[in-house]
Amino acid sequence: MLSPPGNLFDSDSRSAGQTLGKEDFAVLVDSPHVKVERIVSNGDASPPGFWYDQPWAEWVAVLAGSAGLAFENEPEVMVLRVGDHILIPPRKRHRVEWTDKRCATIWLAVHYPGPSQSLPI
C-alpha cells in the first residue's frame, strides 16, 4: 500500500504557529538501514557546549533558509544556504551555530551507517 504523497515545503512550522527557537522534526523514511528526516529550524542553535557525536553518517541539504555549522577543530563556521549540502562522517563532532531568524530553515537529512557499517543490500 502506498503512503499518501507529501511536500517538503508544506506545513512550514513558523506558519503553523511555532515560535522562534522551536524546531520541528518529521521522519519521512525509517528503516534499519536509513532514516530520512525533514527538519524545520526557526532561529535555532545547538545548546552552548553541546556537540553532536553520531555513530552514523549524515548527509544534510538546506532546502530553504540558511544555517551555520561548526565542526570540532575547524576554525571557521561553515555557512550553508539554499541548495548547499554536506556529508558528515560518523563521529565527526559538529554543532549548529545558528539558523536563519528571518525565515524557516528547511533541512533534508539522511542518516545511514558509516563506511565500517556495511549495508546488507
Domain 24-112 is found in CATH 2.60.40.1170:
no
Cell numbers linked to 121: 543490500
DSSP 74: -
pLDDT of residue 117: 54
The pLDDT confidence band at residue 4, using thresholds 50, 70 and 90, is confident
pTM assigned to the model: 0.83
Amino acid at 85: H
C-alpha of 95 from chain center:
11
Extents of the domains making up the chain: 24-112
- Locus of grid cell 561553515: 78
Amino acid at 61: A
Tell me the β-bridge partners of 59: 87, 110
Q: Report the alpha-carbon angle 50-56-62, nearest 5.
A: 70
